[in-house]
Amino acid sequence: MSSFSTFKLIYFIGLALILIGGYRIYNQLSFGNIIISLGLLTYAIVQLYLLIKQGISNWGLFEYTKTSVNVLFISSVILLMGFESKAWFYPLVLGMLLDFFANIFRRVNRS
């Protein structure tokens, strides 16, 4: 198994954990915050590792945006698990919106 496909597998496991944890939080089931936190950390750490492995000197606007998205996700986990703050979803939603628009702008620039 190649290294990149291993990272893709970990990435998609993180996405699955985010969806499962979000579902559990929405339905007020137990361990939802732990599952979503594990998913967000897995997702963010894999993306940050691949971005740093690429080399910071080659970064464009998209890479800086992706880095800020992952920092927002990690700060959301810190607010949720570390401080047990009720405002943990603000950086999460902001990061999701930023990620969405970054992907759209990347596809526009490719065209």
| Cα(19)–Cα(95) distance, integer angstroms | 16
What pLDDT, on the 0 to 100 scale, is given for residue 35?
A: 92
- All structural domains of the chain with their residue ranges: 3-110
| Cα(59)–Cα(110) distance, integer angstroms | 16
- CA-CA-CA-CA torsion sign (99, 105, 109, 111): positive
Say yes or no to pLDDT of 9 above 80.
yes
Whole-model pTM: value is: 0.80
Predicted confidence (pLDDT) per residue in 56-100, tens digit:
777 777 888 888 998 999 999 998 888 888 888 899 899 989 989
